[in-house]
Amino acid sequence: MHRTTPHLRFETRYDHILTPLRQRGMPAAIEILGALIYIHAPLPDGSHLQITSDGTLPSDPDAVRAWQAYRHHDDNPTVSALIYDSTTDGEHRLECGLRSPLFAAIDAFLAARGLVPTWRSEFRPVAVHVRHQGLTGVLGRPWCSRAANRPPPTTSSSTRLSSTEAGSASSPTRVSVGPAARGLAITTSSR
C-alpha cells in the first residue's frame, strides 16, 4: 500500500504502539478509511488485529483515553473476537489508555491460539499489574475520565496555608507538589 503523508504522520505519532507489534513479527501499519483511523496488524493465519481508541485514533496519541483490540478475518466473518476493551463499558475499563495491559492481553490472546510467529516461539507473555494508587491526589484531578465522577480529594486544614501563615498577607503563597523518592514532597514559596 502506498503510504501518504497522513499515514506517515500517524505512523510517527503511534510508533510506541507500532514498534512493539512489529517486534512481535506483525507488519503493523496505520489504516485510514474515511474518518476511521486504526492500527492494522496481519497475523500468520490470515486474520488481522485492529487496534483503535474509542471509535477512531485521535491525531494526538496523548488524547487516547481507552484502547480496543479486535481480531478479524476478511474471508471468514466467523473469526472475530474482542481481545481488549478499556472503553467506558469494556472489561478492562479501569486500565484506561495504558499500553502495558493492552499488550499483555494481545500477547496472551496470540499465545493461547498458537498465533505467535515461529521466530518468537519461545516467547512467554508476562502479566503486567499496574497500581494507580494516590495519583488523583498527586495530580489534583482525576487521572482518567472514569475517575471524573468521583468527588475531588479533600484537603485537611493542617495542610492548607493562608497567606498570613506563610509570612505576609500581601504576598500569596504558592504550593507545589512533586513526587519524591518514596512519597510526596511539598514545597512552598512566596512570590
Where exactly are the structural domains of the chain? Answer: 5-120, 155-190
Which pLDDT score, from 0 to 100, does residue 170 have?
Answer: 46
Query: Is a pLDDT exceeding 90 seen at residue 132?
Result: no
pLDDT tens across 73-85, in order? 988 888 899 999 9
Q: Are 61 and 13 in contact (CB under 8 A)?
A: yes
Which pLDDT score, from 0 to 100, does residue 31 have?
Answer: 93
Q: Are 113 and 46 in contact (CB under 8 A)?
A: no
pLDDT tens across 27-64, in order? 999 999 988 999 999 998 899 999 999 889 999 999 99
Which pLDDT score, from 0 to 100, does residue 186 have?
Answer: 45
d(CA 102, CA 74): 23
Q: Residue 51's closest CA among 24, 131, 113?
A: 24
Greater confidence (17 vs 182) lies with 17
How far is it between the farthest Cα atoms of the chain?
A: 74
Which pLDDT score, from 0 to 100, does residue 133 have?
Answer: 53
Question: Residues 153-168: what's their mean pLDDT?
Answer: 43
Greater confidence (145 vs 179) lies with 145
Please name the residues in contact with 190: beta carbons below 8 A apart, sequence gap of 6 or more: 166, 167, 168, 171, 172, 173, 174
pLDDT confidence band for 17 (50 / 70 / 90): very high
Query: Is a pLDDT exceeding 70 seen at residue 181?
Result: no
Q: How remote is the C-alpha of 82 from its chain's centroid?
A: 17
d(CA 88, CA 97): 11
Greater confidence (61 vs 119) lies with 61
Question: Residues 158-166: what's their mean pLDDT?
Answer: 40
Which pLDDT score, from 0 to 100, does residue 38 have?
Answer: 94
Which of 104-108, 111-115, 123-127, 175-179 bottoms out in mean pLDDT, i.e. has the lowest? Answer: 175-179
